[in-house]
Structure 1
């Protein structure tokens, strides 16, 4: 069963998730060694594959670097749950197939090391030590599909290659009769 790592402070920025001095690579396993280093030096020693980070509001604020998502995913973190996220971090999470779940009251519901049961289908997380269950904002099916594929690029490769190959300039949207190439006849 996954354990929860609580980072209760609001506004944890991307420099705290992965310090800028370690941005010399985009290899997740390398970045993982330094995940949360400036916030908690022992985090990478404790985290196990499938564990969950519970954090305060505006998690991932600061820069737009994807490295923050890669570092956590590389360290084995399955999801971050917070009341809300910085918009760019949230989008980077979706694009990289990483779960960023919004849940009010999450920080108060867990202590560091509590075991948790995360039910994506049901939209709940349960603290199995206390029995407290919270409902999080449902994950859009699209985001779940991207997560299952391993990220946006993998999703596109798996799902849209045939559709992309079938597109032509003569697609219905280009045949609106405005004299543009793509019409059946060109008017003089």
Structure 2
């Protein structure tokens, strides 16, 4: 996991649920590439076609609400999202994402000061977002030590495979 992430943003609205992130009609797909190719189709079918690896998803509040399916963060990872930033996340989605190695950051109101396609730089360790067009820095909620440890290993399964102590 990179602690400094730089990419262009895709701005989404509020209450983006797991079925919008990864529609249920695709749950039988097992190919990671194909899973990623359907990510966010429930919001706009053009998103997975235009999303570039390393881009950053920025949303309003309650991102990942709905069912607790792990397919949603898996789809985001396989679409190429390097990070998701929102005002708030559904709790189970947040935990699933961290456990699968998808970094998330809470930064209130970020979506209000960005334009689609704008480039930002995120320091996960510090919880900061820098708008590269202006140099403005916004402070988000820092991730806890355990979340950072899990992310640094690429997810909780990889951490456990390496025999790392979870405490």
Tell me the TM-score normalized by structure 2: 0.90
Is residue 141 of structure 2 the alignment partner of residue 137 of structure 1?
yes
Q: For 1:105-137, what per-residue CA distance to the aligned partner results, in whole angstroms no more than 9, with x for missing partners? A: 111021100011111223211121233221111
Choose which of 25, 41, 54 in structure 1 pairs with 2:29: 25
State the alpha-carbon separation in 2 of the partners of residues 100 and 41 from structure 1: 23
The 4+ residue runs of structure 1 with deviation greater than 4 A are none
Is residue 31 of structure 2 the alignment partner of residue 52 of structure 1?
no
Unmatched 5+ residue regions in structure 2?
A: 1-5
Choose which of 32, 37, 48 in structure 1 pairs with 2:41: 37
Q: Confirm or deny: 8 A CA contact 2:37 2:49 kept in the other structure.
A: no
Deviation at 1:38, TM superposition (A): 1.8
Tell me the TM-score normalized by structure 1: 0.81
Choose which of 3, 11, 16 in structure 1 pairs with 2:15: 11
Q: CA RMSD in A?
A: 1.6
Deviation at 1:37, TM superposition (A): 0.6
Q: Confirm or deny: 8 A CA contact 2:119 2:132 kept in the other structure.
A: yes
Choose which of 126, 129, 132 in structure 2 pairs with 1:125: 129
State the alpha-carbon separation in 2 of the partners of residues 14 and 26 from structure 1: 17
State the alpha-carbon separation in 1 of the partners of residues 95 and 15 from structure 2: 17
Higher relative contact order (CA 8 A, sep 6+): 2
Q: Confirm or deny: 8 A CA contact 1:59 1:86 kept in the other structure.
A: yes
Q: Confirm or deny: 8 A CA contact 2:105 2:127 kept in the other structure.
A: no
Unmatched 5+ residue regions in structure 1?
A: 164-188
Equivalences, count: 161
**Larger Rg computed on CA atoms:** 1
More strand by share: 2
